[in-house]
Structure 1
């Protein structure tokens, strides 16, 4: 049996802007994991997860041996990975085989509610890596990320892929996305998956860079207990942009300035400047929420950050906001006990999360 784990993620800065090709964001991989177990099968394959309930998803091949015929309710990201890996396998002349997948996740609570730690990205990355090992495709880590992004944009065209980068490479990452519409169009045009993976022009705008972790800032994560839909919120912001609700050029410039300042601070080991950049990033997101009329920084997330600020730390929402998690960078001088007490008083759950260490170079 093959077992592959992938970590969850948290956005630190650059949310919403990162969906635009070439716009940067900073993310961190965290030590909560989703694991895919793969075992060879015959005649049909299954995908089983507690999210499906008692019945597994069953899949078969159609007559040409490549397409997937799905029965029951599909787990879209997993099936998208299987579909693309089947195409790549066929391109390379690798014989088809059936397999069963079982998915176990630490990225939600005991009741199944998600923490907003990137479960869709983690299952996509882990499935790619498991199938790479199963079929002996020999993908580099970067190619595994690329294949995971191609699978993702078939399901969620606006997804930036930043969460996939964090889950693939670990540690602190600065990330900019390629033009996903262009990638999806090439897939739809029938371009071979293997050719697309090595087509530098198709991946223009993709930038992956490791960042130095802050030396004396402690990462704290709080969960507000209100799950949010990233795809829905991103779509709503984009609709507001098309309606002229805010100046996107100004927003993108402000977001880039914050990410650049955070990157420079981390490179220089200046933790005070890193905390200041996080505060600036919070301001950018709050102004976006005000301009669009969307509750990106909810009351719970506002309280989470304000409690941290009062205790001498810097905090903000993480990711699309609207609920889920907020993050805090706390210096040694911050009163962490006061933060914990303040969060508990407002029903904000502290998640005992640390950074998942980096795993190899971004070009490996």
Structure 2
């Protein structure tokens, strides 16, 4: 039995802009987990997950092409990850094997509603890690991240990969994305191994580990309303309702400044970070107004306003539209009043802490 766990994640700053190649974001891995257990199979493979209902999905191989064959073709992150690893395995001349995957998750509530902690990214990272161990591929952390991103963009071509990076490397990171369109083209033309090894294809992408901000507390509130990151990002990027007041290039520039200043604040132990978060919130509000897209729902607005009234700073995490909001507060600030007022407004505090950094970040 092989078991791999992947943590959840939260965006702290840089949402939306990070979708553009080379643009940065600050993200943290958090200590709530998705687990994949892999066991050897024979004649067929099975995937068990609450996402698929009570009956496992069964897969087989086409003897002629060595491709994965699914009865119902649910093209999702699990099978995108399986297909990516299997392609690499085939390119390396390793013999194919069958296996069963059992997936369990702490990244949603008892009713199955997702918290917005990156369950799709977590399952992708965990499946890649399990199959890396199963086939003895000896991938580095950076190679596992890259492989997970190549799998992800087959399902969601515009996904930045920031969640995958945070989940793979742990801790607090600064992340900048590669050109995913170029990656897909290169994979189609040259294979997955060549794409992993090509430095040119990953130019502009980076992962930098940030120090733990000892002078800050992280609070996370959940609104209970799920949101689709992919849909919101696409709506913002294609909206024809933007006003001259906030053109998108200006938002990109402002986002980079916020991320850079937040990184500098972390280097000081967190001093000045709350002011940056407050400014990042206003920046997202302007983007919402200019695009006509609701980023800050009434509950997210209440979550952030409550934090500000008590001397902290809050903002939506990720694309907004529901899911979670994050709050940064000084280490000495009493946060119980924030939590009590959240509860009075049907906002649930999630007991989360940063998942410790693990492994090294080798060169891209």
TM-score with structure 1 setting the length? 0.97
Q: Is there any run of 5+ residues in structure 1 with no aligned partner, and where? A: none
State the Cα distance separating 1:213 from its structure 2 match. Answer: 1.4
SS at match of 2:272: helix
Runs of 4 or more above 4 Å deviation: 241-246
SS at match of 2:238: helix
Q: Which residue of 2 aligns with 1:335?
A: 334
Q: Which residue of 2 aligns with 1:200?
A: 199
Quote the Cα distance in structure 1 between the aligned partners of 2:313 and 2:341: 14
Q: Which residue of 1 aligns with 2:354?
A: 355
SS at match of 1:55: coil
Q: Which residue of 2 aligns with 1:216?
A: 215
Q: Which residue of 1 aligns with 2:170?
A: 170
2:166 and 2:173 in contact (8 A); partners too: yes
Q: Which residue of 1 aligns with 2:116?
A: 116
Does 2:153 correspond to 1:153? Answer: yes
RMSD, matched Cα: 1.4
Aligned residue runs from structure 1 range 279-318, under 5 A: 279-318=278-317
SS at match of 1:202: helix
State the Cα distance separating 1:75 from its structure 2 match. Answer: 5.6
State the Cα distance separating 1:242 from its structure 2 match. Answer: 9.4
Aligned residue runs from structure 1 range 1-364, under 5 A: 1-72=1-72, 74=74, 76-189=76-189, 191-240=190-239, 246-269=246-269, 271-363=270-362
1:34 and 1:105 in contact (8 A); partners too: yes
Quote the Cα distance in structure 2 between the aligned partners of 1:261 and 1:346: 32
State the Cα distance separating 1:244 from its structure 2 match. Answer: 7.2
2:314 and 2:327 in contact (8 A); partners too: yes
State the Cα distance separating 1:283 from its structure 2 match. Answer: 1.2
Aligned length: 362
Quote the Cα distance in structure 2 between the aligned partners of 1:243 and 1:310: 30
Q: Is there any run of 5+ residues in structure 2 with no aligned partner, and where? A: none
SS at match of 1:306: helix
Quote the Cα distance in structure 2 between the aligned partners of 1:223 and 1:259: 23
1:88-136 CA distance string (max 9 Å, x none): 1111111000000010000000000000000000000000000000000
Q: Closer, same or farther in 2 for the Cα pair 1:266/1:241, shift >3 Å?
A: farther
State the Cα distance separating 1:50 from its structure 2 match. Answer: 1.0
